Structure 1
């Protein structure tokens, strides 16, 4: 994501960790390069050898949160091909977003945490790659191809409906005016199935009609390829630093 050479990976990792911790405590408005440099025990000028601007540094912290979330989706499908089915993968996307603070901040436009970072060039690239609308549409095309989603209405309309469904759950779960539901997962998964299941899919069935174990495996392979390509592209945008 940043062009300047990383002279010291351990130092870069320390800067990233300090920035992440500070963002979670104080949000982007309370973040300054001087504070980051002091907490990371480096000179202020040294930080600019690693990231050219504060916005670029914050964008990388956000991108790494997306990378961690993507790794979770991939691990789930690698462990169980059935995890690539719409109701299960949508739940994984939803749950992971709630658990990753910066992915969540982007999803709900949390101005306190990330400010106007979504207007930053690098963050726009990130959203173009892994934003909820992009993933919803790409995965929906995959599910339709493998008989896991109905194809009796326009793809654009179906993708919009899926994104609206996800946004609605995010709004209710992250809001303060709605009573929480005791067990959200079955409600969420049933809602996704009601929206996307092919018309001949038996209610509550493990296997969809017309979607046998072979097509399940094929869909899982395709999902792994799609998410893996996005992960690899995302990695190429980042500094080669482990944190």
Structure 2
């Protein structure tokens, strides 16, 4: 059974997310969030001591939900972990979350000092683990120089390209994801069909890493929730 305080915390985060997208981090005050939820400002502080912690909780919840979505896809089909599928699925899932997109694009106006969340460090560690597992099991080419840089640069262009020019606005999102998958498949994966045992292994390893990440996020979201722990 979900606790009423947890439900209230989620309502506060929902309101904070809407205001963040509309006004940007600097302009949103805790007062605005409280008013949107119909509670007093003091009640917001029962959950999070300050505005920064509240918005960190919001981004953790976004990241947890996004990661859960990707986990669901891996459980439904372990081959989702192949680089071209993983990267293009993540591209689609991320684009459907305006807050995550804004965070990714380092929208300083929207996020103030929140851009350097610990989330990024965890995601970098996860990416390293993903690449190492892929290399170990032969699911990614070992002859690509500066593999991490190459993958990152190839992928990031798809996220940031339309912020630099509106030339390609007419291309549907699904088509962009298909182009990304094609690029990763042809540039970074060995030719031929992947070994099903290798796919299953990496899927299991990655799933447990993602589950751990999600449970860490979920604990962090409500860290100041009075139903859980003092402080």
- Give the TM-score range, shorter chain: 0.7 to 0.9
Are the structure 2 counterparts of residues 82 and 47 from structure 1 closer, same or farther at C-alpha, using a change threshold of 3 Å?
Answer: same
1:151-162 matched pairs, under 5 angstroms: 151-153=142-144, 157-162=146-151
Are the structure 2 counterparts of residues 138 and 178 from structure 1 closer, same or farther at C-alpha, using a change threshold of 3 Å?
Answer: farther
Whether 1:149 aligns to 2:140 is yes
Q: Once structures 1 and 2 are overlaid, which stretch shifts more, 110-119 or 162-171? A: 110-119
- Per-residue CA shift, 1:76-133, capped at 9, x if unaligned? 00001111111000111112222112221221101232222124xxx2x221112xx4
Q: What is the aligned partner in structure 2 of residue 191 from structure 1?
A: 183
**Alpha-carbon offset, residue 135 of structure 1:** 3.8
1:32-181 matched pairs, under 5 angstroms: 32-119=29-116, 123=117, 125-130=118-123, 133-153=124-144, 157-180=146-169, 181=171
Count how many residue pairs are aligned between Structure 1 and Structure 2.
Answer: 219
TM-score (norm 2): 0.86
CA distance, structure 1, for counterparts of residue 162 and residue 75 of structure 2: 28
Q: What is the aligned partner in structure 2 of residue 222 from structure 1?
A: 205
CA distance, structure 2, for counterparts of residue 109 and residue 87 of structure 1: 24
Match of 1:115, SS? helix
Match of 2:46, SS? coil
CA distance, structure 2, for counterparts of residue 142 and residue 222 of structure 1: 8
Can you give the 5+ residue segments of structure 1 that lack an aligned partner in the other structure?
A: 1-5
Q: What is the aligned partner in structure 2 of residue 3 from structure 1?
A: none
**Contact in 2 for aligned 1:86/1:149 (Cα 8 Å):** yes
CA distance, structure 1, for counterparts of residue 133 and residue 93 of structure 2: 21
CA distance, structure 2, for counterparts of residue 14 and residue 83 of structure 1: 33
Higher helix share: 2
**Alpha-carbon offset, residue 165 of structure 1:** 1.0
- Per-residue CA shift, 1:12-36, capped at 9, x if unaligned? 2221121112112222122111111
**Contact in 1 for aligned 2:64/2:214 (Cα 8 Å):** yes
> For the aligned residues, what is the CA RMSD?
2.1
Whether 1:237 aligns to 2:230 is no
Match of 1:94, SS? helix
**Contact in 2 for aligned 1:150/1:196 (Cα 8 Å):** yes
Higher RCO, Cα 8 Å, sep 6+: 2
Match of 1:149, SS? coil
**Alpha-carbon offset, residue 7 of structure 1:** 8.5
CA distance, structure 2, for counterparts of residue 94 and residue 147 of structure 1: 23
TM-score (norm 1): 0.82
**Contact in 2 for aligned 1:136/1:163 (Cα 8 Å):** no
